[in-house]
């Protein structure tokens, strides 16, 4: 059965995407790596459009991991310049389309000019929105859990929280994604089958979808196919299929 023509009957509230394959896309075309990152911007626009039209509430894109600083200096520099230009160019368009931008991750390592552009873009798109776009930049899932634990530890140290009060819900409230629904669907492009330190806590029960397409080729049709595939999944959260079916009939 061709799932690409199906209209999703179950739409994920939150989609998270590991945008992989930009460098390999460029290498295949005998182009410099930055060309792949530039081409990937069109895929970002396409995925935002499809998700917004489908009724997805939150889209989180893994743009730059805490490990990506290890890449060649010229590539990192080009990525930072591309990120800066995109923030300045796209903020107005996001606001016009009622899309709120949030940037998650440790910003301290970014150049002050880029940090200022992040704040400006978030401020420009703040307020009521139909759709939240989260961009994970200098983000790592382990870092996120550690900073949440540190925040709780400071409260214990200050005497405003007892150790016995700490539970999963409390820790989750300190993650950088606090206040938003957890991801229902995590997509990774580029043919790799791992989550690479992305939203480690938040993806505990997410459905995983892997695409062989390099990120610049993951456009409207591919995103619709991923949503159609998600609609065929049965999410049990530890229950049996019979329990889930019985609850659906109630």
What residues are labeled active site?
Answer: 20, 68
Q: Ramachandran region of residue 59, left (φ > 0), alpha (ψ -120 to 50) or beta?
A: beta
**What tokens appear for 76 in the block?**
């990192």
Q: Which helix or strand (DSSP H or E) is residue 180 part of?
A: none
Which alpha helices (DSSP H) does the chain contain, by range? 22-28, 33-54, 73-96, 112-124, 141-158, 168-172, 220-231, 241-249
Task: Name, in order, each residue with C-beta under 8 angstroms of 80's C-beta and a sequence gap of 6 or more.
Answer: 110, 111, 114
Q: What number of other Cβ atoms are within 10 A of residue 68's Cβ?
A: 16
DSSP letter string, 125-162:
T-SS-SEEEEEEEEE-HHHHHHHHHHHHHHHHHHTSS-
């Amino acid at each position: 059965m061709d799932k690409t023509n199906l209209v999703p009957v179950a739409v994920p509230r939150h989609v998270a995407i590991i945008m992989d394959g930009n460098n390999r896309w460029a290498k295949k075309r005998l182009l410099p790596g930055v060309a792949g990152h530039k081409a990937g911007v069109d895929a970002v626009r396409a995925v935002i459009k499809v998700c917004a039209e489908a009724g997805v509430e939150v889209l989180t894109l893994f743009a730059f991991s805490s490990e990506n600083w290890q890449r060649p200096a010229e590539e990192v520099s080009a990525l930072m310049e591309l990120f800066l230009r995109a923030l300045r160019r796209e903020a107005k368009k996001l606001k016009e389309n009622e899309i709120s931008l949030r940037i998650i991750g440790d910003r301290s390592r970014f150049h002050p000019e880029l940090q200022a552009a992040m704040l400006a873009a978030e401020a420009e798109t703040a307020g009521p929105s139909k759709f939240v776009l989260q961009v994970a930049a200098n983000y790592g899932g382990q870092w996120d859990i550690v900073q949440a634990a540190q925040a709780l530890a400071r409260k214990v140290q200050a005497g405003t929280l007892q150790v016995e009060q700490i539970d999963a819900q409390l820790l989750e409230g300190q993650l950088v994604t606090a206040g938003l629904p957890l991801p229902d669907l995590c997509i990774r492009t580029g043919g790799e089958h791992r989550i690479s330190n992305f939203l480690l806590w938040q993806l505990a029960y997410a459905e995983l979808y892997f695409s062989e397409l390099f990120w610049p080729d993951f456009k409207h049709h591919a995103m619709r196919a991923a949503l159609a595939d998600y609609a065929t999944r049965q999410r049990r959260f530890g229950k049996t299929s019979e329990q889930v079916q019985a609850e659906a009939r109630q």
